[in-house]
Amino acid sequence: MRTPMACTQTLSNPLPSSPHLLPHKPDSIQLTQEEMKRVAAYRAADMVGSGMVVGLGTGSTAAHFIDRLAELMLNGSLTGIIGIPTSLQTEKHAIKAGIPLSTLDSHPIVDISIDGADEVDPKYNLVKGRGGSLFREKMIEGASRKFVVIVDETKMVGCLGGSGLSVPVEIVPFSWNYTLLKIQKLFENEIGFSARLRVDQDNKPFKTDNENYIIEMFFEKGVSGDLNEVSDKLLRLTGVIEHGMFLNMATNVVMAKKDGSLVILNK
């Protein structure tokens, strides 16, 4: 297991912490990570208005948001909502929850997308896609007027890749090892860099909703240099479809803390 790196972290433009405690938790008891996710998701649901086209994120934090959105629709607090799911998993969840769905083809402009993130740096750049849905997430969230990221405080890092966990890259399956070698060559001067093919529980290549593969990149000291240049170099590699660095996309970050309070960061 890789040891998370202690990158320098500075939150820019934070609003004051606002209490959003779960009602059953005394102030002296710290929230679990799952409870922090739910606190952030519920607060983000307050940002949705009736009649909006809403991008529905993927993952455990986004799942709390979907449940809350469905609850607000059921009790009549929100009407006329149309959801755009970022994965097949989210599509199934939203259908079960009773949220009407559509696609980017029918709604090319999304009013608001709400999703979790694997990492958030001080400039609100993100690592996303460790669950494998980065391509669809980036399309839908990139088409959004507002992109709200919901996280618990453990997701905040000083630099992308700073957690020691993977930065994913979606690639075509054809000659995947060739693409892996190209990625390794691109970062050959990065001390401690490594990359590997993601496999499933049966040790077979993990497949995304688009039937593509994922290369997992690891940076012992985080991604160095200009992130936009790193992004451009990756995307120029034949075989690479998209990567999990979401740069300059988030408009707001809702971060839940262990004491149940929130910090809302606005770009």
Cα atoms in the Cβ-side hemisphere of radius 13 Å centred on 105 = 0
DSSP string, 72-93: HHHTTSS-S-EEEESSHHHHHH
CA distance 10 to 25: 29
Residues with Cβ within 8 Å of 67's Cβ and at least 6 positions away in sequence, in order, are 41, 97
Is residue 137 flagged as an active site residue? yes
Exactly one of 35, 137, 170, 190 is catalytic; name it.
Answer: 137
CA distance 195 to 95: 36
Cβ neighbours, 10 Å, residue 137: 31
CA distance 212 to 54: 26
- Active site residues per annotation: 137
